[in-house]
A and B are shown apart, each in its own frame.
Chain A
């Protein structure tokens, strides 16, 4: 179920935070894949369309499918405990996904004089989960656009109804974002970001279980987590133009919440124009996290709060990525790439997560994941 948590926010906040420049008219189609050694495979094709309506108004629409496959395993609830993907009901072959999530979003951006206002709505559905989201964002420039203040709000209303349970539970999330982008010099720009997230309701994965070990036997209980969580973070990043063709982005984020999880994230991104048509991005990210106060890798007796989700465990991650964009040009004698309205996007990523105790179901402390994106962008 973790994959569902705040997915809306991920695709959402970047869209609502346009600066004063109106988004370009374009269509982007991406094929994204994720594979890891926890036997999770995800394919998520994504389509996004942006169109200017005139009168400083732009609309945006997107559609995404999450197709999740994981190796089936014997579980008491006949559910894949890793991904919460329920077994394929139709008993299809290994090529059919275990779970499909559909997500549709629509948004509008309008520029009033210099101020940008946007609103977005999103709906996501799969057979055991639904999510509705509304978000709004305000972007105000100051000092000849040397300073931009951004205010964002998002409300999220989820319903969780696991196939193996008889109930439906709610989860509501409110997010407030405050951002400040500041030009520091002709080739340095910085951004400061505050986030406040308030979560209420059922925050668990309905398919995960707690094993209470008693000698050679064990019994299985449902996890119990607090039904409230307040999450705060502050991030600072800076883009430095280090040469005519290259830039270096340095970022740091500190996060803390009421479940006692604290984390530090450091990321570095190097971008360079290899030619007028090819751009390369190298990324490196390091992340360190403490565990939730109620998290234990195993329980000997039932406790008021019990959670075994590896996301709540202490540990660290390493993340490296390399990406290329190819802008079309009339001089290239190749389909699509001969049009200057076309951009090809590729990205490869390797992600490693280490937790201080083994994962509850895979019994592994190290997760290795590989990611690949192939994208096609057309100006219209």
Chain B
């Protein structure tokens, strides 16, 4: 009797197999930064772009941000760019988050207040980074961030720049 219960409950437990956006065109969008500037993803075509979704309450995001800043600064936006989208409920959390960083943020941060941009992409958790090639196609995704994985990002970007 107990075994039957166990089997049934395991079967009916929701099972969701998410699908990556890899190989598909990155959904286009436009959004606004906190200063009111309108940013369009379409404007990033021609460059390799890291599109990163994050939140101030996400612990790994605190580790990822300095890495993205260093990555961007090494190239200074020549061959690839970084665009981040924040999903906090309150916009002041963005400034509190960036103020705690030791470095200035050189790339754009879109504030996705209505969550319309994040809904275009399949995100399991944060941070969630999509590496988009020069033609606007999502080629790699990174769910989460752990120090030690920086080399993977570097090699993927290098590969797409050289295509």
Question: Are any A and B Cβ atoms less than 8 Å apart in their complex?
Answer: yes
* B residues near A149, Cβ cutoff 8 Å: 10, 13
Count residues of chain B with CB under 8 A from any CB of chain A: 17
In the complex, how many angstroms separate the beta carbon of A244 from the nearest chain B beta carbon?
A: 11
Question: Considering the chains assembled together, what is the distance between the CA atoms of A185 and B144 in angstroms?
Answer: 22
* B residues near A114, Cβ cutoff 8 Å: 124, 143
Q: Which among A1-9, A50-58, A362-370 touches the partner chain?
A: A50-58
Establish whether residues A21 and B147, one from each chain, have CB atoms under 8 Å apart when the complex forms.
no
Partner of A144, one of B10, B18, B147, B148: B18
* A residues near B146, Cβ cutoff 8 Å: 22, 52, 54, 56
**Interface residue A320 (Cβ < 8 Å from any Cβ of B):** no
Question: Considering the chains assembled together, what is the distance between the CA atoms of A143 and B144 in angstroms?
Answer: 17
Establish whether residues B148 and A52, one from each chain, have CB atoms under 8 Å apart when the complex forms.
yes
* A residues near B124, Cβ cutoff 8 Å: 114, 144-145
Q: Which of B1-56 contact A (CB under 8 A)?
A: 6, 10, 13-16, 18
Count residues of chain A with CB under 8 A from any CB of chain B: 19
In the complex, how many angstroms separate the beta carbon of B92 from the nearest chain A beta carbon?
A: 14
**Interface residue B77 (Cβ < 8 Å from any Cβ of A):** no
**Interface residue B60 (Cβ < 8 Å from any Cβ of A):** yes
Question: Considering the chains assembled together, what is the distance between the CA atoms of A145 and B14 in angstroms?
Answer: 10
C-beta contact mask, A209-246 vs B, less than 8 Å → 1, else 0? 00000000000000000000000000000000000000
Establish whether residues A54 and B18, one from each chain, have CB atoms under 8 Å apart when the complex forms.
no
C-beta contact mask, A131-147 vs B, less than 8 Å → 1, else 0? 00000000000111111
Establish whether residues B16 and A21, one from each chain, have CB atoms under 8 Å apart when the complex forms.
no
Establish whether residues B147 and A142, one from each chain, have CB atoms under 8 Å apart when the complex forms.
no
Establish whether residues B13 and A55, one from each chain, have CB atoms under 8 Å apart when the complex forms.
no
Partner of B148, one of A24, A53, A180: A53
* A residues near B148, Cβ cutoff 8 Å: 52-55
Establish whether residues B125 and A143, one from each chain, have CB atoms under 8 Å apart when the complex forms.
no
Establish whether residues B13 and A147, one from each chain, have CB atoms under 8 Å apart when the complex forms.
yes
5 shortest A-B CB distances, which residue pairs? A54-B148, A143-B14, A143-B16, A142-B15, A142-B14
User: Taking beta carbons and an 8 Å cutoff, which residues of B are in contact with A?
Assistant: 6, 10, 13-16, 18, 59-60, 124-125, 143-144, 146-149
